[in-house]
């Protein structure tokens, strides 16, 4: 025998029918059904006025909502969201620059009400902890954002350079390859426009690292010649370059997944247009809901069109790196790295006999050798 259905509607109907038969007092029926007498008389009144239809639940929505967001404001918010689908409530409020707009939580509710937010995507967002360098150009982060095939042949490799302090996107170039020459050309244009940073951070991939063989490549040696220290993130720890990684996610969401192009030139035009929006218009939560351009200032270190000559103290012995990336010093064959081929390096000579042999390129120590493990020539 199936279970008897006992929905609120069925219970109300049974109560009303028993009450109408007057075989039992209303108070006794209330005790049996577990309801108050106020509730009982409410359902009896509705039944007498509307019949069985009066026992259905009524909407609790108020007849008037004087504090509800105006339709024109909701239309403005929805239009802005549709123009920038990846921007959330805080960013939209900062972008519209309208002091009459409601709170961020209300804007979020409006976007939900108009189906402008995917609940599954919304659930993925979590609070983050941030660290940033104190001034513009104290650190630039550089990386490639993947690659893809072009319809006309070849591939597109987007190169990004980001200022750590302001999140200002200094460079977004559609590169045909990932060679050191291509990267150097892109950086030269960036340096001419914005000056030199105090240091640069990049991962351990090409063309700015030679993996286990040497952390130096022709690109990083060129940067050292410009007196720009080079930092590398820990292997398999992309969070070291978290700001550049976050930029890549934004780039993918706002541009790469919604636009198509067949050539590098077409992609570059899309990159240039999006970079303008990103730097000058798009509010960035990490910089106080202001566009990155509001916090960025070009470096006071100009780019020298001619590389400066590296000077060494008199306490160092000067050696020139040969084509194999090595120098000879005190009957030792020291491997410096092929990236330094034909460059002058300085070897520190005033150390104690058991101290390591240190090799400098300009002011940077690029190699250190334990004397006890070196073999004589």
Euclidean distance between CA atoms 41 and 50, whole angstroms: 14
Evaluate if residue 290 carries a pLDDT over 80: yes
328-344: burial string, b at 16+ Cβ within 10 Å, e else: ebeebebbbbbbbbebb
For residue 190, is the peptide bond before it cis, meaning its omega torsion is within 30 degrees of 0?
no
Q: What is the pTM of this model?
A: 0.66
Tens-place pLDDT, residues 110-119: 777 777 776 6
Least confident of 82-96, 131-145, 169-183, 324-338: 82-96
Report pLDDT for 1: 46
Euclidean distance between CA atoms 245 and 221, whole angstroms: 25
Average pLDDT over the chain, rounded to whole? 84
Tens-place pLDDT, residues 337-352: 999 999 999 998 766 6
H helix count then E strand count, the chain: 11, 12
């Amino acid at each position: 025998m199936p279970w008897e259905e006992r929905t609120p509607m069925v219970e109300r109907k049974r109560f009303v029918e028993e009450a109408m038969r007057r075989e039992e007092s209303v108070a006794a029926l209330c005790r049996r059904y577990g309801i108050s007498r106020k509730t009982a008389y409410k359902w009896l009144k509705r039944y007498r006025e509307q019949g069985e239809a009066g026992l259905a639940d009524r909407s609790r929505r108020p007849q008037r909502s004087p504090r509800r967001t105006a339709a024109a404001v909701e239309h403005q918010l929805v239009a802005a969201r549709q123009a920038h689908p990846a921007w959330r409530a805080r960013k939209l409020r900062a972008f519209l620059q309208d002091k009459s707009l409601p709170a961020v939580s209300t804007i979020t509710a409006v976007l939900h009400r108009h189906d402008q937010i995917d609940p599954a995507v919304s659930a993925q967002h979590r609070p983050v902890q941030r660290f940033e360098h104190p001034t513009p150009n104290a650190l630039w982060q550089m990386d490639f954002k993947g690659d893809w095939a072009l319809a006309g042949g070849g591939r597109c490799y987007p190169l990004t350079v980001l200022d750590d302090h302001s999140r200002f996107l200094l460079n977004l170039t559609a590169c045909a390859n990932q060679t050191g020459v291509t990267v150097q050309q892109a950086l030269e244009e960036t340096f001419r426009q914005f000056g030199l940073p105090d240091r640069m951070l990049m991962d351990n991939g090409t063309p700015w690292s030679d993996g286990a063989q040497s952390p130096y490549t022709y690109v990083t040696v060129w940067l050292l010649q410009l007196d720009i220290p080079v930092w590398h993130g820990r292997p398999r720890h992309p969070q070291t370059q978290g700001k550049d990684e976050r930029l890549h996610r934004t780039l993918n969401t706002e541009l790469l997944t919604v636009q198509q192009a067949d050539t590098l030139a077409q992609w570059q035009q899309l990159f240039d247009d999006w970079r303008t929006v990103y730097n000058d218009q798009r509010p960035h939560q990490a910089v106080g809901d202001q566009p990155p351009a509001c916090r960025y200032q070009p470096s006071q270190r100009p780019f020298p069109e001619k590389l400066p000559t590296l000077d060494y103290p008199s306490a160092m012995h000067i050696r020139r790196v040969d084509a194999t990336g090595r120098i000879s010093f005190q009957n030792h064959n020291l491997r410096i790295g092929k990236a330094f081929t034909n460059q002058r390096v300085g070897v520190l000579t005033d150390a104690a006999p058991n101290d390591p042999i240190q090799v400098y390129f300009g002011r940077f120590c690029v190699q250190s050798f334990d004397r006890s493990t070196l073999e004589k020539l």
